[in-house]
Amino acid sequence: MLQGWMDSEGFVVSEQSQSPRGNEEISASAQMEAEIPRVLHALAVPEYMEAWLRVPEAERIECRSDPRSFDRFRIDLFAAGRRRGSIYGSCLLTKPNRITYLWDSSMNRGVRSLVEIRLWGGLTGCILKLRHCGLTTPDEKEWYTTMWRDSLNNLCSLMEGTGARPTRGHCLNRSVPAVP
């Protein structure tokens, strides 16, 4: 049975209990001088996602929480003054220092993908490791690779307030092993 929720503009977003189906995957890492709780807050609160999230071909984005559920959100992508697509998601914040997103994009026919982010570190700095799996095509993988590279670089800059201190020259590091 298909279940779902309706967003504020009347769009139904599915909630099928499916694992991500694609076999394309992205791994990334970033190192920053910021406290883990501060980074977790920026990652978990949709309204704060607007400050660091960068999406290819979008002139601006709007991130909104679903008023009926604390863990669901929608990211609207705008270009030329019009909404060009949306990413629907849910966010699970778990201990220790882990966030899991379930993404459902209107731009890829509603196929779900899974994003896992883990943070390690102490009071003065942390390392972020990201794994985005369930991507279905090389084009989708390239789109999300660009999004995560730009977004993580921006997150590093915002958290440090002085500019990014990327790992190995780039916040996005494809050679980082997948998060277990």
Counting every residue, how long is the chain?
180
pLDDT at 4: 37
Q: Would residue 82 count as lying in a domain?
A: yes
Q: Would residue 165 count as lying in a domain?
A: yes
Cross-strand pairs, 32: 126
Range of the domain at 82: 22-169
Q: Would residue 17 count as lying in a domain?
A: no
**What sign has the CA pseudo-torsion 100, 78, 170, 127?**
negative
Other beta carbons within 10 Å of 37: 12
Q: What would the pLDDT profile of 7-22 be if each residue is shown by its tens digit?
A: 333 333 333 334 445 7
pLDDT at 2: 26
Q: Would residue 107 count as lying in a domain?
A: yes
Q: Is the pLDDT of residue 170 over 50?
A: no
Q: Would residue 72 count as lying in a domain?
A: yes
Q: Would residue 9 count as lying in a domain?
A: no
Q: Is the pLDDT of residue 144 over 70?
A: yes
Q: Would residue 127 count as lying in a domain?
A: yes
CA–CA separation, 160 and 16 (whole Å):
38
- What is the number of alpha carbons within 13 Å of residue 17 lying toward its C-beta? 1
Q: Would residue 178 count as lying in a domain?
A: no
Highest mean pLDDT, choosing among 4-8, 41-45, 175-179: 41-45
Q: What would the pLDDT profile of 52-63 be if each residue is shown by its tens digit?
A: 999 998 999 999
> In the numeric block, which tokens belong to residue 172?
């996005």
* Count of domains for the chain: 1
pTM comes to: 0.76
Residue 88 belongs to domain with CATH number: 3.30.530.20
pLDDT at 106: 66
DSSP output for the chain: ---EEE-TTS-EEE---------EEEEEEEEESS-HHHHHHHHH-HHHHHHH---TT-SEEEEEE-TT-TTEEEEEEEETTEEEEEEEEEEEEETTTEEEEEEEEGGGTT-EEEEEEEEEE-SS-EEEEEEEEEE-SHHHHHHHHHHHHHHHHHHHHHHHSS----GGGSS--TTSPPP-
